[in-house]
Amino acid sequence: MYKSLLLLFFASLLLSACSSSKKAARPAPAIRDENRFELTAISDDPTYGYKQENPVKVGGAREQSGPANERRFLNALTGPNGETISYHRKGSCCPFKTPNGFAGGGLLDMYEVTYEGLKKPIVIYINMYDAGELKAPQGFKFK
């Protein structure tokens, strides 16, 4: 009986080790070069990047490349007429749950973006914990 229980325990351990409870991973965004992602579309959603409920998801925190991914995304953007943008990180906000963060949570980063001719800086919300399809927010184009 002891051998049967031991065999059953090891069989279940082996089966659980071979199965995965993870969701299918999203493909990594294409990196054009060390400093920039390859963007190919503008979002149809007017809230994409502009609302904390719909941040740009660049991922990379688990691989220690989250901040670099944020910069890669921003470096791929231009103004609506091809203007060079500038940006600076305003800080973090907006706690949320994520399996990719620390202790099951993360914070969004807020970047203030400007370009020549823009009357008021634009704030873009970026999630470096979770990956998603990358697009330029409405009002921007990409290099």
The reply to whether 23 falls in a domain is: no
- In this prediction, residue 134 has a pLDDT band, given cuts at 50, 70 and 90, of very high
Q: Please give the residue range of the domain that contains residue 132.
A: 29-41+49-142
Q: Which helix (H) or strand (E) holds 12?
A: helix 2-18
The reply to whether 91 falls in a domain is: yes
Q: What percent of the chain has pLDDT over 90?
A: 73
Q: Give the CA angle between residues 85, 55, 32 to the nearest 5°.
A: 50
pLDDT per position as a tens digit, 17-67: 333 334 444 555 677 677 999 999 999 999 999 999 999 999 999 999 999
The reply to whether 125 falls in a domain is: yes
The reply to whether 65 falls in a domain is: yes
Write down the pLDDT at residue 16. 38
| CB count in 10 Å sphere of residue 5 | 9
Write down the pLDDT at residue 32. 63
- Of 7-11, 31-35, 67-71, the one with minimum mean pLDDT is 7-11
The reply to whether 35 falls in a domain is: yes
The reply to whether 11 falls in a domain is: no
- Encode 49-83: b = buried (16+ Cβ within 10 Å), e = exposed: bbeeebbbbbbbbeeebbebbbbbbbbbbbbeeeb
